[in-house]
Amino acid sequence: MNLKVRKPPNDLAGSGWYEILPEPPPPEILDSTINADWVVIGGGFTGLTTARRLLENCPDDRIVVLDAQRIGWGAAGRNSGFMIDLPHDLQSKDYSGGTTRDRNQIKMNRFAIGYAKSMVNEYGLHSFMDTGGKINAATDVQGMNALRAYSEHLRELDESFEEYDAQVLKEITGIDYYAGGIHTPGCVQVQPAGYIRGIAQGLLQSSKNIKIYENSPITEIVSGETKRIKTPKGEVLSNRVVLAVNGHLESFGLFSKRLMHVFTYGSMTRQLSVDELNRLGGRDQWGITPAHPMGTTVRKVKEGRIVVRNVFTYNGNMETTKDQVSQTGKRHDKAFRNRFPMLKDVSMEYRWGGHLCLSLNSAPAFGEVEKGVFASGCQNGLGAVQGTLGGILIADLASGRDNPMIKSLIEPGEPAKLYPEPFMTIGAKMNLWWNHLRAGKDL
Ligand SMILES: Cc1cc2nc3c(=O)[nH]c(=O)nc-3n(C[C@H](O)[C@H](O)[C@H](O)COP(=O)(O)OP(=O)(O)OC[C@H]3O[C@@H](n4cnc5c(N)ncnc54)[C@H](O)[C@@H]3O)c2cc1C
């Protein structure tokens, strides 16, 4: 069956992570007919990891990666950068799932983080990865209860962590907004756009068999033993295609009415002056996820800026609007002002939104969807680590490399069918509204 693409991605406004990097070299755009052994569509965590793993599995094969936008412009370059090893179920009250499921997930997440670290080492990307763990912090009684439940669960799982009181949190962050927190050492934090662009560059430098084309949206995959993967100006002929486009799988007509398209939003301050940094105090860099999954994520980065992320919106049409970005910006300003009263003159320099893909049963969209066409997407908001994992595993599945984790990944089955419209949209919006309200001071 031919797969005609209904909608290309259109991520608005560059994220701070992307904008603070040097201007990238001009994009190479596909403008002719070429042949390849593998085509990977999408150059985010999933697609670039797929390409790297294929390079390992089939070193002599020609691999072409195509992205509709610049590498790092999509969600992979606009997220908060937490690669989390421990359970982090955004659809739960305190991130936990069942014990057996969580043990398995931790094993797989750590395998993916290990793989990410190996890319950082090979491509010299250390300045884009901080391996100091992360803090899950609470602001009120409700949040402290969620932290307690989470730490109980970590004990059950035999996982090590450290409990911080308000004083320790003030020493680390310079602010006294948080009542308590849990530090977990296995999480790594990346500068997402720097990391993603660095991997693309590393792949290109490490092998002449890799080609990456940017600003080259796929418009159609014409089926056949040899498939024709078409862009507006060119096409690639290949027997095997991996779709690493996350929620845009639905644009290709796949997993239809099974994927929930959610956006979340970030803002980054201007660079703080030396005086402002001194006034704030605390460490050079730190990262906090909220005890309540709908709360605010905050990072202080070594470039002397603060990044906040909060608010989820349900956008079934896979697009956010300038208005939503600007409305959410007001929530970011409030979260920032509440936490950083000593920085009242500091404003946000960049604001953006980005696309996440979730399923009702938290299952990924993974597997061979047509002969020679493979898909890996829908990481339920945790694509930094699970996109990396999905990229490794889809490459292994497609190239016939035995990996027992494939079975674990597909165990939950395929993403469950969504409720019929308009109930799905109304239900999702009500659910988000209620959960944002419950996040209280954590928001
Ligand atoms: C503000 C924000 C904060 C987040 N924080 C975190 C976090 O801290 N930790 C975490 O794990 N996750 C986080 N996420 C989620 C994470 O960013 C995503 O889950 C992750 O980017 C998914 O990776 P991916 O490679 O599968 O997909 P994407 O990053 O979406 O990459 C898919 C690529 O496919 C391309 N594409 C789509 N359609 C086509 C087409 N027709 N032709 C060619 N190319 C196409 C897109 O341009 C895109 O570059 C956050 C997301 C946002 C927006």
Segment 110-169, tens digit of pLDDT: 999 999 999 999 999 999 999 999 999 999 998 999 999 999 999 999 999 999 999 999
Instruction: Supply the DSSP symbol for 89.
Output: B
Instruction: Supply the DSSP symbol for 14.
Output: -
In the chain, where the domains are located? 3-410
Statement: 3-410 belongs to CATH 3.30.1490.20: no
Ligand 1, atom nearest to 382 Cα: 11
Question: Tell me: the pLDDT tens digits for 171-195?
Answer: 999 999 999 999 999 999 999 999 9
Give the pLDDT of residue 90.
60
Question: Tell me: the pLDDT tens digits for 369-400?
Answer: 999 999 999 999 899 999 999 999 999 999 99
How far is CA 433 from each of CA 24, 307, 311, 312, 429, rounded to the nearest angstrom? 39, 23, 10, 9, 6
More confident residue, 90 or 432: 432
Distance from the CA of 236 to the center of ligand 1, in angstroms? 23
Give the pLDDT of residue 94.
57
Distance from the CA of 379 to the center of ligand 1, in angstroms? 9
Distance from the CA of 355 to the center of ligand 1, in angstroms? 6
User: For 75-96, b where at least 16 C-beta lie within 10 A, e where not — what string?
Assistant: bbbbbbbbbbbbbbbbbeebbb
The closest residue, in CA terms, to atom 49 on ligand 1 is 74
Give the pLDDT of residue 247.
98
How far is CA 309 from each of CA 266, 300, 325, rounded to the nearest angstrom? 4, 12, 12
Residue 134 one-letter amino acid? K
The closest residue, in CA terms, to atom 20 on ligand 1 is 383
CB 128 within 8 A of CB 194: yes
Count Cα neighbours of 19 within 13 Å in the Cβ-side half-sphere. 15
Instruction: Supply the DSSP symbol for 127.
Output: G
Give the pLDDT of residue 435.
87
The Cα 9–Cα 374 span in angstroms is 19
Give the pLDDT of residue 413.
93
Helices 99-123, 383-399: inter-axial angle, 10-degree rounding: 80
Q: Which band of pLDDT confidence, cut at 50, 70 and 90, is reported for residue 366? A: very high
Residue 274 is inside which H or E element, if any? helix 274-280
User: For 226-256, b where at least 16 C-beta lie within 10 A, e where not — what string?
Assistant: ebebbbeebbbebebbbbbbbbbbbbbebbe
User: For 101-137, b where at least 16 C-beta lie within 10 A, e where not — what string?
Assistant: bbebbbebbebbbebbbebbeebebeebbbeebbbbb
> What average pLDDT does this structure show over 300-319?
97
Distance from the CA of 387 to the center of ligand 1, in angstroms? 8
pLDDT at 412 over 90: no
The Cα 87–Cα 95 span in angstroms is 6
Question: Tell me: the pLDDT tens digits for 76-100?
Answer: 999 999 999 998 776 665 566 678 8
Query: φ and ψ at 112, to 5 degrees?
Result: -65, -40
> What average pLDDT does this structure show over 416-432?
94
Give the range among 90-94, 219-223, 316-320 with minimum mean pLDDT.
90-94
Residues contacting ligand 1 via CB (< 6 Å): 5, 8-9, 41-47, 66-69, 74-76, 78-82, 217-218, 244-246, 248, 264-266, 309, 354-356, 377, 379, 381-385, 387
- Tell which one of 105, 219, 356, 409 to mutate to probe ligand 1, the residue whose CB is within 8 A of the most ligand atoms: 356
Give the pLDDT of residue 441.
85
- Tell which one of 84, 248, 294 to mutate to probe ligand 1, the residue whose CB is within 8 A of the most ligand atoms: 248
Give the pLDDT of residue 96.
65
Distance from the CA of 397 to the center of ligand 1, in angstroms? 21
Distance from the CA of 284 to the center of ligand 1, in angstroms? 27
Give the pLDDT of residue 91.
61
Residue 441 one-letter amino acid? K
For residue 427, the SS3 value is: helix
> What average pLDDT does this structure show over 296-311?
97
Distance from the CA of 42 to the center of ligand 1, in angstroms? 9
Considering the chain, what percentage of its residues have pLDDT values greater than 70? 98
The Cα 407–Cα 413 span in angstroms is 10
Q: What is the mean pLDDT of the chain?
A: 95
Q: Which band of pLDDT confidence, cut at 50, 70 and 90, is reported for residue 249? A: very high
298: closest CA among 339, 261, 334? 339
pTM over 0.95: yes
pLDDT at 101 over 90: no
